[in-house]
């Protein structure tokens, strides 16, 4: 199974992607984690990404597409994967389709975690205090939300038109949301969106 998570920053994509990947026994692939690791290690990608991320902007498509192409080609992703943080633009979604077409398999489902913006802001403020993430400062968060609405939100319609999207209420306790995700995937398997 090849699952993509969508949702605004702070919607719980990372947490739920990790949990779902464990249940499906496939890798959770988080572009945010990959980029933060590259930044902390000072790799060429990390140096390039650091200033972009600190400003709340998206890392350029060519960098992200290359990074994902390499990652999903690894042996542990052959039977599937759960993507968190990619695609973030329609161009990236089209590139992902192209990558997957070559092996005769496409995206199985796209889960859109719906969380109201005030709840997102509260979650990110808490995460910033707990984890000290530089991309969770208030000004950066507001810019990330603006970029999400402008560049990533169009993916909801893109994947809905392809019959792949399932909207999931992302408010509640982690186990409740996980149950909703499982029900959404079961519904997709039965052909019910």
Return phi, psi of residue 95, to 5°: -65, -40
Active site (annotated) includes residue 48 = no
CA angle at 100 for the pair 97 and 102, rounded to the nearest 5° = 115
Name the active-site residue from 2, 36, 123, 144.
144
**What's the rounded Cα separation, in Å, for the pair 176 and 163?**
25
From 13, 36, 123, 188, the catalytic residue? 13
Asked about 88 being catalytic, the answer comes back as: yes
Determine how many CB atoms are found less than 10 A away from the CB of residue 161. Answer: 9
Given the residues 48, 57, 71, 133, select the one marked as catalytic. Answer: 133
Options 88, 123, 180, 188, the catalytic residue:
88
Residue 180 falls in the annotated catalytic set: no
Beta-carbon contacts of 156 under 8 Å, excluding residues fewer than 6 positions away, are 6, 112, 165
Is 13 a catalytic site residue?
yes
Catalytic residue chosen out of the listed positions 48, 57, 127, 160: 127
Q: Where are the alpha helices (DSSP H) in the chain?
A: 13-24, 31-41, 44-54, 61-72, 90-101, 117-131, 138-147, 154-161, 174-189
Supply the residues annotated as catalytic.
Answer: 13, 88, 127, 133, 144
């Amino acid at each position: 199974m090849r699952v993509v998570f969508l949702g605004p920053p702070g919607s719980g994509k990372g947490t739920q992607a990790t949990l779902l990947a464990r249940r499906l026994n496939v890798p959770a692939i988080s572009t945010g984690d990959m980029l933060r690791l590259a930044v902390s290690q000072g790799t060429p990608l990390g140096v390039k990404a650091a200033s972009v991320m600190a400003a709340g902007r998206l890392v350029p498509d060519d960098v992200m597409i290359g990074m994902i192409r390499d990652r999903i080609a690894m042996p542990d992703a052959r039977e599937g994967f759960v993507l968190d943080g990619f695609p973030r633009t329609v161009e990236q979604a089209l590139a992902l389709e192209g990558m997957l077409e070559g092996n005769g398999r496409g995206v199985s489902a796209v889960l859109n975690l719906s969380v109201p913006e005030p709840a997102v802001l509260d979650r990110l403020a808490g995460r910033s205090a707990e984890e000290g993430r530089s991309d969770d400062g208030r000004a950066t968060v507001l810019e990330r939300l603006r970029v999400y609405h402008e560049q990533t939100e169009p993916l909801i319609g893109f994947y809905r038109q392809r019959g792949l999207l399932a909207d999931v209420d992302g408010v509640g306790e982690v186990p409740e949301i996980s149950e909703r995700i499982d029900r959404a995937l079961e519904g997709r398997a039965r052909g019910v969106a």
